[in-house]
A and B are shown apart, each in its own frame.
Chain A
């Protein structure tokens, strides 16, 4: 069942730097893009399960910090020649509060 969770204040998410957000057992990687939109993905690479929050953000894409895979932050698709998919979470911003649908 979908549920909403609060993940922090919008203005506290630094631009182009990923933040790790933990909700119970779940770890999310939250990114504020250069266009100020927020993207949330699972903090787990489809390749060897590494973390993603520390990757380099470029436009809509993330370069994974461990193996340099290129991942689309909007649909979670790993770009060729690698492949796979990272779970993405819908985001809602109300005033300064950021929520994700789990």
Chain B
């Protein structure tokens, strides 16, 4: 039998979800063609605000990779729009001149931002907030301009405003209504929200009607109905969305605000369906994801000829995705004569809860500050549950148990995708799932807005019980393999594997040559296991560690020469100054680790710079021991009790060039004032009168963490030994790219102490450390001396005709 030809117009969340549902029901029944206006595979539009806020990158919000289309035989034409549907001949035509035959069409063209029809709305610098391109417009504007205005104080507007603040802009939010999010919140919650957002830096102009966008070519400001105005270099219109109905209209399909559909998502022409934001069901065009997914499911069943009740409309809930603000709203939130409300306003903790009751049933809720109850309330509202049932459940909650333990199996955990607690538990049990990621892939729970991640984790913990507590969750090296770091290293040792390619072949890697995550990791692990014989693979190193300089965004490099313990002298400074002149160094800067950084050096010049400097590499680019920061110490300082600079120099000379799982920063101070800031170093040494304290696992970077005391020792030799033993233990047991702070936290300080304080262990670790150190070759000198390295890595070829 010939396959039925199905054309999907619109490559977004609703349309692709419909296709996914269809493929689940009848995998081989349709020949599917998809046209999408945007040049991307299906991505998660809801998460765009997180991209703008900088929490997420565009690559993290893709829902269906290109590969998905290929794997499912779905023909995708990205960046191509359907311009005409000919219902007589059953063909669609595109803007690139394609004609495709169809048996069925799904229109899922979504919506576009509503742009206020006011003078100036077409000026440069006015944008909606709807797709990746809009995000990019805002991001690039933020690099040049200072002041942004967002018209619309609803969810979208506030999320855009938060993003623009994160991008460093000043943000004014303009709202016509007397309070924010007026469709989802009552006045009390809206005021709490406004207070919080003002603290974050937003400025609000309420009850303001924008009448004109000022400026010549580019926007310079806004004018309001009351005659006042503000300045703005970027205007984001977030006043609402308008279903995209143009194509349906031109085809002669009945449209109203959206494309009118029946309970089976059929338009007036039965073999043409519409789903998602472009569709209007029972007078409502939904703009939230959960209803769209419900529609997609019904559509799929109908088009596949399965029995079902039809779509009956949705009760919707919303959450604001602004970091630091928790807001939830569902159902009917306005009070009337027929409703009664339960209100809890905790001024002390700044939380607010309102539950609206009608005829003894829960019909709506607003939460501010603490939204953990959101999913539960939403499920009660959807079921029209009696208010007493909710109040009873409240009592259980006070026992401190996770909210998921009291949830019924049919309660919905993931509102976006309609996944119940029971479905998640079943998937965990039946498929032996152990991680959030696996649950997400198997059930779709937490795949869209991500707000329910916490609950899904709780369900995992609850379902797995002890297994979860023991942390039997497996972290693989990367997506190329199902093996963990420990398993890979065990296999390397057991099978005597000696090259990255060999490891990948023998251990059944899913990719032939690995990726940018596993290649450097394997290269490190092999070097760690075979310090004497392993030949480092330059091609598996990141650029900085391959070229032994730090690449900058313009493709030039920075050079940091070694200065043991941060101590330099007049001769070296003169040489550095000469080099800076000779090679036209863009900037000379002191680093955080007390070294001198020469920035803006061309790749071809690197070996010459090194040669002229005649100093070893400072390894400012490496996953290795970076610098040992020191205070002045007993030699000069009136408080100093020990020779901290001398100790720092010894440490730096000993560990110079050591490969480690991630960078290692050290500091040595000579009194408790700790001027070298050992409390936030991977290894921090503090000298006291007659004693050295050794602290480990501190971090002053991404996640601030205080170092913890490993040992108190008396001699400088002991400082060297304990540090060596600790670093070697870290080298042997940490995951690649795991800092000591995370490592110590993972294995526990007590465990680390047990290992290092045991003399036999310590001696063995020190011996293995010495082996690793023996392999060190100073890389700058090695490059200068080797014709091959110079030619392969540094010299630019000048080609010719």
Contact = CB atoms under 8 A, between A and B. Distances in A.
A22 interface: yes
B513 interface: yes
B39 interface: yes
Contacts of B540: 56
A80 B59 contact: yes
Contact of A34 (B40, B57, B513, B791): B513
Contact of A6 (B66, B546, B799): B799
Interface in B47-66: 57-62, 65-66
B799 A80 contact: no
A55 interface: yes
A19 B797 contact: yes
A55 B540 CA distance: 10
B39 A54 contact: no
B145 interface: no
Of residues B542, B555, B796, B799, which shows the largest number of chain A Cβ atoms within 10 Å of its Cβ?
B799
A34 B553 CA distance: 28
B661 interface: no
B61 A16 contact: no
Nearest to A54: B543
A96 interface: no
A51 B512 contact: no
Contacts of A54: 543, 546-547, 551, 603
Contacts of B493: none
- Interface size on B, as a range, is 35 or more
Contacts of B41: 80-81
Given A17-B538, A63-B516, A66-B551, A23 B793 contact: no
B40 A80 contact: yes
A58 B799 contact: no
Contacts of A82: 58-59
Nearest to B62: A81
Interface in A1-34: 3-8, 12, 14-17, 19-23, 28, 30, 34
Contacts of B603: 20, 54
A79 B66 contact: yes
B525 interface: no
Given A58-B516, A81-B43, A5 B799 contact: yes
A99 B62 CA distance: 38
B473 interface: no
Contacts of B554: 50
B227 interface: no
A83 B39 contact: yes
Given A5-B799, A14-B792, A58-B519, A80 B543 contact: no
Contacts of A56: 516, 519, 539-540, 542-543
Contacts of A50: 553-555
Question: Residue among B511, B515, B791 with the most chain A CB within 10 A?
Answer: B515
Interface string B56-82: 011111100111000000000000000
B538 A21 contact: no
A90 interface: no
A57 interface: yes
B759 to A, nearest CB: 42
A94 to B, nearest CB: 15
Contact of B791 (A12, A30, A58): A12
B187 to A, nearest CB: 41
A54 to B, nearest CB: 4
B799 A8 contact: yes
Contacts of B551: 51, 54, 65-66
Across the A-B interface, the 3 shortest Cβ-Cβ residue pairs: A81-B59, A81-B62, A63-B516
12 contacts: A6-B800, A19-B797, A21-B797, A22-B796, A22-B799, A58-B511, A58-B512, A58-B514, A59-B512, A66-B551, A80-B41, A81-B59
